[in-house]
Structure 1
Amino acid sequence: MHPPSRFNFIDNLRCFALLLGIVFHAALAYSPYFHNIWLSADSSKAVIFDGLTHWLHLFRMPVFFVIAGFCSALIITKKGAATFIKQRLKRILLPFLVFLPLVIASFIHVLSWGADIATPLPPIYAAFNAMTEPQISTAHLWFLWILIQLCLLHWSVYHISGSLHKRLNCTVNMAIYPLILMACCFVTLLAQPTPFPAPDKLLPQLWALTFYGAFYLFGIILFHNPALFKRAHSAILPLSLTAILSLTAYLVYLPEAPTLQQVIAAAKQGAFTPSGIQHMQVVAIQAVAIVSWTTLILLLGYRFFNQKNNICRYLSDASYWVYLIHVPVLLYIQMPLINTALPAIVKLIISVVGTLSISLLTYHFAVKHTVIGRLLTGNHKNIKKQRDVHT
């Protein structure tokens, strides 16, 4: 039995996660909790953005990695492991190598420009000045860097054991998968601060490969066991209750926001160093919240958004380009806004609408039908015959 040529809920979920990603990065500037950490932190703040950013941080990237694993399994099933790894190297590694220097250059420029025009200056600049040996960061492109490593592992395992999909194609109680994911999240995040950081270091990080790799593997399992979606419909209500309760507990027991002194110390050391029983408790709650919200979003997407939607399809096609450029564009918009007395919610709306508009307009008129567009989304001449998902 051949898989469907298009999974509409994957397009719609990617579109949903993309939009939430822009909202997440924009809201960081107006969150009191992240005021000492974020690059364009604004003196206009509102506590509501603390809840919004913490909530989005829990499930947004895990959902992306589930989608990535699902689509990787789809490509291997349709075209084989050799074609899969060639496409992944072309569609993930090559854009990473091309765009990373451009992204780093844009960050250097916007932060230098921001230092000249922003009043007051975001607190994170004090940490920048304290760094004696700055490390090379992959910025928000860390997703591509982790993903290509997971794809290479996926290809290697499949190359050694071509029957991998048969081993994953088993009928198991749906409850066991979230439990395994929760255990994996707890173990891998135990040595990380809460909220868990972006793994933006250039050197491979075992905790990040294991943490996000578990969700990538979950995506592979879901592809080979589509009945899991249907069997899990009855779990939506208890899963929703678990997600809401765990998020509430997470926000209640979340450690205090790092002070500027702690941020400066972490910048010198290269990382925060969490410890203690309370940290273990928060990590346990965080693990439940991450998995319950990720699973819930996937189930709701499959249940209610598994129909073709031309707008979501277009945004899904544009998502790679938007992902690559949205953070620098957002910073260029938010830096001048620091000098205004507008309410935080107004600044957020300007930031999100402006970033999305610029990203989509540049995609439509300057990228879609160019070499860059073909690199990111495939050959447009054959787009009606085959559309391989890039993440």
Structure 2
Amino acid sequence: MFLGVVIHACADFVPHYATADRLAPLVLDAVVDLIHGFRMPLFFAVSGYFTALVWQRRGLGSLLQQRARRVLLPLALSLVTVRPALEWSFYLGRVLAGTDPGPVPASAGFPVSPTTSGMAHLWFLWMLCYLVVAFAALVGLGRVARRLAPRTTRALARPGLFVVAMLALSVLMQFLMPTGQFGPAYTDRLLLDLVVVGYYGCFFGAGAACYAPAGHLPSWLLTAQARWPLWGAAALVSLSTGRSLPVEHPVSQAAQVAFAWLTILMLTGLFQRVFAGERGADPRVRWLADASYWTYLVHFPVVLVLQGLVGGRGLPFWVTVPVVLVGAMVICLVSYQYLVRYTALGALLNGWRSRESVRGAAHPRAGTA
């Protein structure tokens, strides 16, 4: 979630540093490609894992209720609050930067046409709703298949085999969705592009397949994650290969998919090592995890206004980007702590939190993941 703030702080939405510094596009484009190449695939892989966890522990009905409450409802509220604020922030940012702001936003509403692009940075929540519905449908089909052909179903429902199938399918999806940039495409319409849904669905499905009923990761995955430095080195090779060729070149597209999978293996292995045991139960880690949801929902308008404030000042990008990034993070995190966390809105996003839980170990609950 926090990496989304970094991407938007680096992108040149309001004319400023990137037009005045020759080095800025090279550095900032590399940062954006690096993050964009794995961020959403990783998110959906983790989301798939926790979707399977909630289903196994609470049942399908509880899963759908929880996702409607923690994902669909916040999305609906954001579309009538954050999304209109984004239009006005884009306009205000250009005014503050001293550039032509274009026409004043004519409406405070959200374009609801199914084919209209307009969800902006909120698209991933709608994508997650699609994938949860698909997951529920597959669970139902699986129950029917187990009754009709139990042996065949058991033979096919092997997690390792399913993950390999998802890996291969993701390569096909990447070839079917040329994006014009490094990494996967995104779709922000109400009627999502099914190829893009299929691509992210591969990571979601792989994550779901990695959940074991006992709550432990499969032994083959733990063995692979233990080699995270190797996957990190391989990911860097894939990143370099993918960026050195035209993004629609077959080798580049294969390298882009490889980069996503390798980075997921590397990061999950690294986090398993760093946050194992008591460190993973640190209430400060839980607080940041909770705050990340609110931060991502509201950060974009803040970033646009801050870009306008620092734009046109003649400052180098290595000054302006940190100012925008730190400023946006401070505003979002402070507002979360004092305006959101212990309110009904905070409960909607993360579940009820008591002030005492900050001093002690926080009880983990499944949120958007």
Do Structure 1 and Structure 2 share a fold, with TM-score over 0.5?
yes
Task: Determine the structure 2 residue equivalent to 1:135.
Answer: 116
Task: Determine the structure 1 residue equivalent to 2:109.
Answer: none
The answer (yes or no) to whether the contact 1:99–1:324 under 8 Å persists in 2 is yes
**% of aligned pairs identical?**
27
CA distance in 1, matches of 2:15, 2:165: 38
The answer (yes or no) to whether the contact 1:68–1:216 under 8 Å persists in 2 is yes
- Larger mean Cα displacement after TM superposition, 82-91 or 237-246: 237-246
> After superposition, where does 1:72-221 map in structure 2 within 5 Å?
72-120=51-99, 135-162=116-143, 170=158, 172=160, 177=163, 180-195=166-181, 196-221=184-209
Does 1:251 pair with 2:257?
Answer: no
Does 1:389 pair with 2:359?
Answer: no
Task: Determine the structure 2 residue equivalent to 1:265.
Answer: none
* Letter in structure 2 aligned against 1:70: Y
Aligned residues: 335
Relative to structure 1, the CA distance from residue 323 to residue 171 in structure 2 (aligned partners, 3 Å threshold; closer, same or farther) is: closer
Question: C-alpha offsets along residues 232-279 of structure 1, whole Å, 9 cap, x if unaligned?
Answer: 145434423321111111121145xxxxxxxxxxxxxxxxxxxxxx63
The answer (yes or no) to whether the contact 1:70–1:219 under 8 Å persists in 2 is yes
Question: C-alpha offsets along residues 292-326 of structure 1, whole Å, 9 cap, x if unaligned?
Answer: 22222222222333332332211101111111001
CA distance in 2, matches of 1:166, 1:352: 49
Does 1:58 pair with 2:37?
Answer: yes
The answer (yes or no) to whether the contact 1:69–1:220 under 8 Å persists in 2 is yes
CA distance in 2, matches of 1:213, 1:364: 33
> Where does structure 2 lack aligned partners over 5 or more consecutive residues?
106-112
SS in 1 for 2:315: coil
The answer (yes or no) to whether the contact 1:183–1:287 under 8 Å persists in 2 is no
The answer (yes or no) to whether the contact 1:66–1:215 under 8 Å persists in 2 is yes
The answer (yes or no) to whether the contact 1:229–1:302 under 8 Å persists in 2 is no
CA distance in 2, matches of 1:190, 1:300: 32
Q: CA offset at residue 39 of structure 1?
A: 5.2
> After superposition, where does 1:1-391 map in structure 2 within 5 Å?
18-29=1-12, 38=13, 42=17, 43-45=19-21, 46=24, 47-120=26-99, 135-162=116-143, 170=158, 172=160, 177=163, 180-195=166-181, 196-224=184-212, 225-233=217-225, 235-255=227-247, 279-306=249-276, 307-308=279-280, 309-380=282-353, 387-391=365-369
Superposed CA RMSD: 3.0
> Where does structure 1 lack aligned partners over 5 or more consecutive residues?
1-17, 30-37, 256-277
SS in 1 for 2:239: helix
* Letter in structure 2 aligned against 1:28: A
> Taking structure 1 as the reference length, what is the TM-score of the superposition?
0.77
* Letter in structure 1 aligned against 2:2: L
* Letter in structure 2 aligned against 1:280: P
Q: CA offset at residue 180 of structure 1?
A: 4.3
Question: C-alpha offsets along residues 14-44 of structure 1, whole Å, 9 cap, x if unaligned?
Answer: xxxx332221221123xxxxxxxx4566424
The answer (yes or no) to whether the contact 2:349–2:367 under 8 Å persists in 1 is no
CA distance in 2, matches of 1:181, 1:143: 20
Relative to structure 1, the CA distance from residue 171 to residue 102 in structure 2 (aligned partners, 3 Å threshold; closer, same or farther) is: closer
Relative to structure 1, the CA distance from residue 161 to residue 41 in structure 2 (aligned partners, 3 Å threshold; closer, same or farther) is: farther
CA distance in 2, matches of 1:210, 1:237: 29
Q: CA offset at residue 136 of structure 1?
A: 3.8
SS in 2 for 1:232: helix
Relative to structure 1, the CA distance from residue 19 to residue 114 in structure 2 (aligned partners, 3 Å threshold; closer, same or farther) is: closer
Relative to structure 1, the CA distance from residue 234 to residue 301 in structure 2 (aligned partners, 3 Å threshold; closer, same or farther) is: closer
Relative to structure 1, the CA distance from residue 154 to residue 304 in structure 2 (aligned partners, 3 Å threshold; closer, same or farther) is: same
* Letter in structure 1 aligned against 2:9: A
CA distance in 2, matches of 1:221, 1:202: 27
Relative to structure 1, the CA distance from residue 182 to residue 343 in structure 2 (aligned partners, 3 Å threshold; closer, same or farther) is: farther
The answer (yes or no) to whether the contact 1:243–1:292 under 8 Å persists in 2 is yes
Relative to structure 1, the CA distance from residue 279 to residue 101 in structure 2 (aligned partners, 3 Å threshold; closer, same or farther) is: farther
> Taking structure 2 as the reference length, what is the TM-score of the superposition?
0.81
Question: C-alpha offsets along residues 108-163 of structure 1, whole Å, 9 cap, x if unaligned?
Answer: 211222333324559xx79x9xxxx9934111000100001111111222234347
The answer (yes or no) to whether the contact 2:14–2:97 under 8 Å persists in 1 is no
SS in 2 for 1:380: coil
Q: CA offset at residue 49 of structure 1?
A: 1.5
* Letter in structure 2 aligned against 1:201: R
